[in-house]
Structure 1
Amino acid sequence: MLLDAVPDHIQSRLADYAKLLRIDRPIGSLLLLWPTYWALWLAGDGSPSIGNVIVFTLGVFFMRAAGCAINDFADRDWDKHVKRTRDRPLTAGRVKPREAVVLFVGLCLVSFLMVVLFTNTLTLYLSFGGAVLAFIYPFMKRYTHLPQLFLGAAFSWAIPMAWAAETGELSQLAWLLFTANVLWTVAYDTFYAMVDRDDDIKVGIKSTAILFGDADRAIIGVLQTLVLLILVLVGQRAGLGTVYYLSLLAMACLFIYQQFLAKDRDRAACFRAFLNNNWAGFAVFAGLVIDRLIA
């Protein structure tokens, strides 16, 4: 194989970069991708521009990787105290802080160039907001118990960008999708934060899991219900049909399953509840695609 010809120290370096950028863990990219596709398929009435699909698919993966790099840079001193993160390349010293910053800037620039070259002016203006959100989110856990809200905004900003790229304008539907995705992100990232809650309390990291306390599952349930209600409203405003509403029923069933998984607040089970949201996002995307195909 070609990789066998690469010296071992370079292979090791590349493996650490891959771990820093979470290339080996695509779940974050998928959670970004499905809502972006919701926006593209709705804005494009079921037939989005192939160019926009390619640009935003690549952009999602690049910006998620950039977000991981700046997140680990921000948390490099705290991650060593958290069981799940203490062996990350930056925390363990295998990657230098300046390398993470260079990767963040480089990936942001590549994403920005794609927007400049292949989309329109409105999308270009919106991209600055996305870069700011990607940069500030990792630092919010120092100052507020609502860093998940900032993550939700960062993870949802591709929605208005995709809508603008596809239609040249922003509509109420775009902002309804944005709102639904912010709430959904807060819900599933609270499951994620429940995994680290005990460690985070010890080192002083703030999160919604800590803020919600024993009411965590109840509040997640409220957020999940609001997500479904807003997506029902989206379906009504967009004139979507039965298949779309069946996909929302599938999402609701998955939400119930996630609540069941997290009932005892076991770390591994909460992480499984977080991961399960990939299927919830995919279910809605599949419903949108099929609904538009048969409309």
Structure 2
Amino acid sequence: MKRFTFWPQAYLGLTFNWGALLGWAAVRGSLDPYIVLPLYFSGVFWTLVYDTIYAHQDKEDDVKVGVRSTALRFGDLSKEWISGFGIACISSLALCGYNADIGWPYYAFLTAASGHIVWQILTVDLSCRADCNRKFVSNKWFGALVFGGILFGKLAT
């Protein structure tokens, strides 16, 4: 996709997160769009956050070989775009939790996950490959917080 569009991270998000739809359908036997669609789109937006940060590591090489990415598309406005995707991710997760009637621990964990995304965006040095990689790798903690919220939120209901 990097050869065809400046949005390969969006394509990645749409494909990677397809598992949310498939997993829900496999476990529940049907799709509840009020729960599954916000879950799916939260994953797409999260992918746009972490993979745009990741793409900043490769932007010089991408220019040399003539491929595209959101890092190149957004340029100096990357943090603003990433912030918007982060807000959309957290908002979608909150809507998903509300529609799924998940208990209060979910929102406590989601608050911590929000803090993690804010920390990433505020502190990432998009011109430093090593820092972009550190922030990209730190997304395991974002995922762990969301998972913990779902687990403990469901146990509380």
CA–CA separation in structure 2 for the residues paired with 1:264 and 1:163:
36
1:193 aligned residue (42, 52, 55): 55
CA–CA separation in structure 1 for the residues paired with 2:27 and 2:36:
11
- 1:243 is aligned with what amino acid? P
Shift of 1:264: 5.3
2:58 is paired with a residue of what secondary structure? helix
CA–CA separation in structure 1 for the residues paired with 2:109 and 2:122:
20
CA–CA separation in structure 1 for the residues paired with 2:96 and 2:134:
28
CA–CA separation in structure 2 for the residues paired with 1:192 and 1:158:
22
Shift of 1:239: 1.3
Match of 1:269 in 2: 131
Scaled by the length of structure 1, the TM-score of the pair is 0.51
Deviations 1:80-108 (A, max 9, x none): xxxxxxxxxxxxxxxxxxxxxxxxxxxxx
2:143 aligned residue (276, 281, 288): 281
Shift of 1:263: 3.7
CA–CA separation in structure 2 for the residues paired with 1:293 and 1:180:
22
Corresponding residue pairs, total: 156
Shift of 1:199: 1.1
Give the gaps of 5 or more residues in structure 1. Answer: 1-139
- 1:162 is aligned with what amino acid? G
1:150 aligns with 2:11: yes
Q: Whose radius of gyration is greater, 1 or 2? A: 1
Match of 1:164 in 2: 25
Shift of 1:265: 2.9
Match of 1:174 in 2: 36
- 1:210 is aligned with what amino acid? L
Percent identity over paired residues: 38
Give the gaps of 5 or more residues in structure 2. Answer: none
- 1:220 is aligned with what amino acid? I
Contact 1:151–1:185 under 8 Å retained in 2: yes
1:260 aligns with 2:110: no
- 1:174 is aligned with what amino acid? V
Shift of 1:236: 1.3
Shift of 1:144: 0.4
2:75 is paired with a residue of what secondary structure? helix
- 1:273 is aligned with what amino acid? K
CA–CA separation in structure 2 for the residues paired with 1:264 and 1:222:
17
